[in-house]
Structure 1
Amino acid sequence: MTAAETTQLQQAAEDAAHHSYAPYSHFHVGAAILLETGETVTGCNVENASYRLTTCAEQTAIARAVAQYGPKIRLRAVAVANLAKVACQPCGACRQTILEFAAPDATIFFPAENGQTASCTLTELLPAAFVLKDR
């Protein structure tokens, strides 16, 4: 990815965070996914009084992409942002959901502890992935 593409993806994730519904935790998260076809799709966290029913930003973006483009989408990159500007990697459930649709060389961008943006591959983020079959 170019630096400009990375910046655009990160900005899209931050913009999506402004739309989140987080009345309980007040932790507003946005995600932007770049598909292999070049489209960018965003999502935000949507909380529920029953926390188990909360939807993460990454899962919202992926569900939206599947609804819009179909189940054969492949993620080239994922960016995560939060309005608190604190370190925030995708949770375990999101890592597994990303894996389901990720291209082999997908890159994940997320806020690091030092206020900068960190990046890694999905394999680095989820080294012991659960896989039922080859995709």
Structure 2
Amino acid sequence: MTASITNFDRKDLIQKALDNISKSYAPYSHFHVSAAVLMSDGNIYTGVNVENASYPAGICAERNAIFHAIAQDKTAKLVAVAIVGGPDGKIQDYCAPCGVCRQVMREFGNPEEIAVIMAKSTEDYKEMTLAELLPMSFGPEFLA
């Protein structure tokens, strides 16, 4: 199966992120985040934010999930990312990816073809392309 931005189950991807939020490790900020990423080969990988007493050593949920996916198959491209998060794991609003996560997403696919889904639930979500969230981005093709 080859997944694309138009032919995947958004609710399933969001549900996988929702199901994983309890695994977040956020003892300092208490802001728990979970992400699920869909790759072009049809596989879905999840990740959570993992904080550290040395703050810069932590990792965001989106990068955690993307790096997990790339470790499994570095040829697959990023198709979509579903993100959920909130204080103490209680989702109250849409959770947008930070700038570093947006740049990491940019590394692994075409920004016009990557769906970024910020969800409160499987029924309540906002979707944008990565190009909309990271306009005029710098990617690997500039280094070729």
**Which category of TM-score, normalised to the shorter sequence, fits these structures?**
0.7 to 0.9
2-structure distance, mates of 1:131, 1:105: 14
Secondary structure at the residue paired with 2:52?
coil
Structure-1-length-normalised TM-score: 0.88
Structure 1 stretches of 4+ moved >3 Å: none
**Cα distance, 1:51 vs structure 2:** 1.3
8 Å CA contact 1:10–1:79 kept in 2: the answer is yes
Q: 2:104 aligns with which of 76, 80, 97?
A: 97
Deviations 1:1-33 (A, max 9, x none): 45x710000011111211111111111110000
Q: Which has the higher contact order (CA 8 A, sep 6+)?
A: 2
How far, CA to CA, are the matches of 1:11 and 1:102 in structure 2?
23
AA at the equivalent of 1:42 = T
Kindly indicate whether residue 38 of structure 2 is the aligned counterpart of residue 34 of structure 1.
Answer: yes
* Paired amino acid for 1:81: V
**Shift of residue 87, structure 1, vs aligned partner:** 2.5
Letter of the 1:75 partner, please give it.
Answer: L
The alignment's C-alpha RMSD in Å is 2.0
Structure 1 stretches lacking a partner, 5+ long: none
Aligned twin of 1:129? 137
Render the CA deviation track for 1:37-88: whole Å, top value 9, x for unaligned: 111011010000111111000000011111112x222011110011331231
| Amino acid in structure 1 at the alignment position of 2:90 | A
1:68 paired residue among 72, 95, 99: 72
- Matched with 2:19 is 15
Q: Which runs of 5+ in 2 are unaligned?
A: 1-5
Aligned residues: 131
Q: Does 1:48 align with 2:48?
A: no
1:120 alignment partner, SS class: strand
What letter is aligned with 1:21? Y
